[in-house]
Structure 1
Amino acid sequence: MPPTLVLIIGLLGLAVGSFLNVAVSRVPAGLSVVRPRSACPGCATPIAARDNIPVVSWLLLGRRCRACRVPIPARYPLIEGLTALLFVAMALRFGRSEVLPAVLVFTAGLLALAACDAEHFLLPKRLIYPTLGLTAACLLAAAAATGQWHRLGVTAVCGVGGFAVFFALFWVRPAWLGFGDVRLAGLLGTGLGWFGPSYLVFALLAGSAAGLVLGLALMAAGRATRQTRLPFGVFLAAGAIAALLIGAPVIHWYETVSDPYATSAPLTTVRDRS
């Protein structure tokens, strides 16, 4: 991918990250993400365009509102910067592939959901369903462009399968996870199913392992107990993003060591197969 295009995608990530901050702040409260315009939560002063430049404005303002000097949470530049970074990483990973738009939409939705879960222990339907619909629409366009209609069938099976597995866990033991996690599992299956069921399994295992390790570490440090709540959606989202970025070599390695007849042919990217 040309460096100029990578830069454009990075700038797009900054802009999308700014919108994700609005969604994270308003959706859990049941507010519109369109109106009214962005304002300081402390003094309600509308934010001027010069103070709404992702990351840069936060630094130039000294991390405080221009009007009332109330501190601006670090979450704002973190989400903006992380969105840009992940957009660039996905662009470098998938190149000029027809599936890249779906990957970017999926990634942005996961970041917003992870931030909501980290702050509010909430995975809002108003974020999950739009992300699901937009990701599915982009995958449909990718199938139409490449003729790989069979991938949509695998995507549907993975989406339904992820939802069904987590629904069964929720039904057996509701204390283990919330229903938002069930919906999120369906979203993960849809976003990762295009690449194959192994990617969904990788994401679920990686996310669960990360949550378990962090929980044990906090308990060992005396900062948590077995009753302490952890935002499981954060770990599932991280597992899905890891699956997109590093899942291919890990899955290839596993298939090679588990199958003595596996070939040692080099990995091919989604773009190569399209």
Structure 2
Amino acid sequence: MPYTFVMIIGLLGLAVGSFLNVAVSRVPAGRSVVRPRSACPRCATPIAARDNIPVLSWLLLSRRCRACRVPIPARYPLIEALTAILFIAEALRFGRSEVLPAQLVFTAGLLALAACDAEQFLLPRRLIYPTLGLTAACLLAAAAVTGQWHRLGVTAACGVGAFAVFFALHWLRPAWLGFGDVRLAGLLGTGLGWLGPWYLVFALLAGSVVGLLVGIALMAAGRATRHTRLPFGVFLTAGAIAAILVGAPVIHWYESVSDPYAMGAPHTTVRHRP
């Protein structure tokens, strides 16, 4: 993989991460992500270009607003750095393939949704639907370029199937899942379906296991009870990203052990008597 290409993707990730911070701050409140320009939430001083460099400006400003010295939350550099890291990892994973743009859009949207869920227990439709539309458009372009229209069909089936399963769970027990999680499941099915149905299964299982372990750990530490609300969207996002980056070897291993002929088991020949 050319070093220059990876660096460009990483810089793109920093820029996208900066935009995601704006979206996380404004979309849940119903505000525009375009106007007005970014400003300090306390003193309303517009943020100068020199103070808007991802990660670096936060460090140079000693984590405080230049004007009023109010602390700047660590969420800002964390999202910027994490977006860049994940973009680089996916560039190394997929290379210059037609599916890379869809996975980058998908991942960026998931990060914004996870941040909103972690901070406000909210998965805004104004983030889910644009991410779904852009991801689907990128996958449609990938199918048109590669001719792999069957993958597009699998993608649609995974998206509809995941939405239907979560909708049924929500209908049976609304306390278990908010409808935002139902919409998120449809997005996960769309983003992962191109890679294959098992990637979606991997993401849902991994996210559920992580959520269960976190819940147990919090209860053991006395910081939660069985009725404490947890941001399930964060765990589903973690499972989806894990599926994208490390799901392939796990899925290939499972397919090999579930198919005896894949491991070299002898074929049994049935002889018919004359």
Q: TM-score, normalised by structure 1?
A: 0.95
Tell me the residue number matched to 2:272: none
Give the Cα separation in 1 of the matches to 2:205 and 2:22: 31
Q: Secondary structure at the match of 2:260?
A: coil
Q: What residue in structure 1 maps to residue 82 of structure 2?
A: 82
- Contact 2:257/2:263 (8 A) holds in 1: no
**C-alpha distance in 2 between matches for 1:209 and 1:112:** 22
1:144-197 CA-partner distances (Å, limit 9, x unpaired): 110001111000000000000000000000000100000000000000000111
Partner of 1:158: 158
Matches for 1:42-191 after TM superposition, within 5 Å: 42-191=42-191
- Matched-pair contact (CA < 8 Å) for 2:113–2:123: yes
Aligned-residue offset at 1:258: 1.6
1:169-228 CA distance string (max 9 Å, x none): 000000001000000000000000001110000000000000001101111111110011
The residue number in structure 2 matching 1:22 is: 22
Aligned residues: 264
Is the 2:55–2:77 contact (alpha carbons within 8 Å) kept by the matching residues of 1? yes
Aligned mates of 2:183, 2:28 — CA distance in 1? 16
Q: How far off its partner does 1:7 sit?
A: 0.2
Q: CA–CA distance in 2 between the matches of 1:203 and 1:187?
A: 12
Letter in 2 for 1:142: A
Alignment gaps of 5+ in structure 1: 265-274
**What residue number does 2:251 align with?**
251
Q: Per-residue CA shift, 1:77-112, capped at 9, x if unaligned?
A: 000000000000000000111000000000000000
Name structure 2 gaps, 5 residues minimum: 265-274
CA displacement at 1:259 relative to structure 2: 1.5
Give me the TM-score of the superposition, normalised by structure 2: 0.95
Of the structure 1 ranges 214-223 and 129-138, higher mean CA displacement relative to structure 2 is found in 214-223
- The runs of at least 4 aligned residues of structure 1 exceeding 4 Å deviation read none
Read off the aligned partner of 2:249 and give its amino acid letter. Answer: P
CA RMSD of aligned residues (A): 0.7
1:262 and 1:173 mapped to 2: Cα distance?
Answer: 41
Instruction: Write the distance in 1 (CA, Å) between the matches of 2:263 and 2:236.
Output: 31
Q: Distance in 1 between matches of 2:262 and 2:159?
A: 28
Quote the offset at 1:263 in angstroms.
Answer: 5.0
Residue 223 of structure 2 corresponds to residue 223 of structure 1: yes
1:272 is matched with none
What residue in structure 2 maps to residue 240 of structure 1?
Answer: 240
